[in-house]
Amino acid sequence: MNTFFFSRKILNWYNINKRDLPWRNTRNPYYIWISEVVLQQTRVDQGKQYYLKFIDSFPDISNLATASEDEVLKLWQGLGYYSRARNLHRGAKQIIEQHKGIFPDKYSELLKISGIGPYTAAAIASIAFNNTVAAIDGNVYRVLSRVFEVNDAIDSGAGKKTFEKLANKLIDKNEPGNYNQALMELGALICKPHNPDCKNCPLQNNCLAYKNKTINTLPVKSKKTLIRHRYFYYLIINYEECVYVKQRTENDIWKKLYDFPLIESTKDLPANAITQSADWINIFGQSPATLNHISELVNHQLTHQKIYARFIHLTIKNEKYLPANFIKINKRDIFGLAVPKIIENYLTKVSFAE
C-alpha cells in the first residue's frame, strides 16, 4: 500500500474517533512524558486518574525533581511497576542538572535521559517536537503485523528491526505526533488482540491478515512467559502501639516501597513450618512472639509473578533483639508510607489501626 494512503487513512480515522484524553490537549513534553510512562502496562481509565494526580502534585519538572523519592512512590502506589516512578524521578533530576530544566527536543538526546527508552523518546519527540520518528508499542506491533502480515517475532532482535524499519517508512512526515497516536489508538480501539473490530477498521481493504484469515496468528511471539509463584508470610509484629516495617531495598519487585518483615517460600506452608523455619528463629529466637492470628491466603497477579500472601499477627514483649533493619512505626503511620497494593488492600479490609 502507498505510504501516503496508509497514513492518511489512519489520520482521518483518528480525527473522528480519538478519545478525548487530558494529555492530548497539550504539547508540553513534561506532561507527555508523564502520560506515556503512566500508561505503560496500565489501562487508560486507571492511568488517567494517576496522570491527573501526578501533574497536580508535580505541575512541572522542577517540582518533580525536588520531591523526595518516598513522595513520588506514595503517589504511584497501586499503579505497579514502581521502577517507572523511580526512573521518572531520576530523569527529572537529570533534566534539571544537565539541561537547566529544559526538555531535550531531539529523539537522540531524549534517549540519554534515565528511564527514557526508544518508545518513550519517540512518543515525546514526535508529539512535543515534531520529530519524524515512529513510536512502536504493543498496539503498533499488532496493527502492522496484521496489515502487512509480518511473521517476524516481535520479541526477537531481528523482528524488532523489521518493525522499526516498516514503521519509520510509513510515518507521516507532516504530522508524526498525530500519526503515532493514531496508530496506537487504532490498535487500542479497533485492532484489539482478540476479536478485532475489522468491519469498522479503516485498513480493512488493505489488511493482508484479514484477507488471508491469519489475524489470530499475529503478531508472532517467540518466547512463552513463565509465571513465578511466590508465597509471602507477612509478619505484623505488634509492640505496644507500634508495628515494624521494612523498606524493600533489593533488586526485586516493589523496590523502595515499604512492607512488613516477611518469610518467603515457594509453596504454601502450614503454621508450624513457618514458626520452625530458620527465618523465624532468626527473628524471634531471642524475643519470643505470641501468634494471634493468621489470615486467609490472598493473592496478587503481576505480569510475570503471582504473589500469595498470608498476614501473621503477632505480639512481642521485648523488641531488643529484633533485626536492626526493622523500622518501628506507630500503626497509623503506615498509611503515609508507599506500600504494595496487596498490603494496602489487606489493611483496608481489616480496618487496620482503627
Strand 298-301 to strand 258-259: parallel, antiparallel, or no bridges (unpaired)?
Answer: unpaired
Sign of CA dihedral 189, 192, 194, 200: positive
Question: Per CB under 6 A, does 196 bind ligand SF4?
Answer: yes
Of residues 36, 69, 319, 354, which has the active-site annotation? 36
Stretch that binds ligand SF4, among 115-123, 191-199, 225-233, 261-269 (CB under 6 A): 191-199
3-class SS at 236? strand
Sign of CA dihedral 116, 122, 127, 130: positive
Which residues lie closer than 8 Å to 125 by C-beta, 6 or more apart?
A: 105, 106, 107, 110, 131, 133
Q: In terms of CB distance, is 203 or 237 closer to ligand SF4?
A: 203
Of 207, 237, 257, 339, the one binding ligand SF4 (CB under 6 A) is 207
Question: Per CB under 6 A, does 198 bind ligand SF4?
Answer: yes
Question: Per CB under 6 A, does 183 bind ligand SF4?
Answer: no
Question: Per CB under 6 A, does 47 bind ligand SF4?
Answer: no
Provide the minimum distance between the beta carbon of 169 and ligand SF4 in the complex, in angstroms, as a whole number. Answer: 17
Q: In terms of CB distance, is 85 or 203 closer to ligand SF4?
A: 203
Provide the minimum distance between the beta carbon of 24 and ligand SF4 in the complex, in angstroms, as a whole number. Answer: 22
Residue recorded with cell 503515532: 180
As a whole number of angstroms, the distance between CA 253 and CA 80 comes to 9
Of 83, 156, 204, 305, the one binding ligand SF4 (CB under 6 A) is 204
Site for ligand SF4 in 276-305 (CB under 6 A): none
Cell triple for residue 338? 508507599
Question: Per CB under 6 A, does 26 bind ligand SF4?
Answer: no
DSSP 150: -
Stretch that binds ligand SF4, among 157-165, 166-174, 207-215, 310-318 (CB under 6 A): 207-215
Provide the minimum distance between the beta carbon of 72 and ligand SF4 in the complex, in angstroms, as a whole number. Answer: 38
Cell triple for residue 77? 502506589
**Euclidean distance between the first and final Cα of the chain, in Å?**
65
Of 13, 33, 210, 244, the one binding ligand SF4 (CB under 6 A) is 210
Of 143, 150, 257, 309, the one binding ligand SF4 (CB under 6 A) is 143
Stretch that binds ligand SF4, among 171-179, 203-211, 228-236, 295-303 (CB under 6 A): 203-211
As a whole number of angstroms, the distance between CA 128 and CA 181 comes to 12
Provide the minimum distance between the beta carbon of 202 and ligand SF4 in the complex, in angstroms, as a whole number. Answer: 8
Question: Per CB under 6 A, does 219 bind ligand SF4?
Answer: no
Contact between 272 and 349 under an 8 Å Cβ cutoff? The reply is no
Cell triple for residue 135? 513510536
Which residues lie closer than 8 Å to 328 by C-beta, 6 or more apart?
A: 239, 242, 243, 244, 319
As a whole number of angstroms, the distance between CA 155 and CA 149 comes to 16
Question: Per CB under 6 A, does 150 bind ligand SF4?
Answer: no
Q: In terms of CB distance, is 190 or 289 closer to ligand SF4?
A: 190
Summary count for the chain: helices (H), strands (E): 15, 8
Residue recorded with cell 498525530: 178
Q: In terms of CB distance, is 198 or 347 closer to ligand SF4?
A: 198
Instruction: Tell me whether residue 36 is one of the annotated catalytic residues.
Output: yes
Nearest residue to 64 via CA among 94, 105, 28, 26: 94
Stretch that binds ligand SF4, among 1-9, 159-167, 189-197, 269-277 (CB under 6 A): 189-197
Stretch that binds ligand SF4, among 27-35, 92-100, 106-114, 139-147 (CB under 6 A): 139-147
Question: Per CB under 6 A, does 147 bind ligand SF4?
Answer: yes
3-class SS at 312? strand
What are the residue numbers of the active site? 36
Chain positions contacting ligand SF4, by CB under 6 A? 143, 146-147, 190-191, 196, 198, 201, 203-204, 207, 209-210, 215
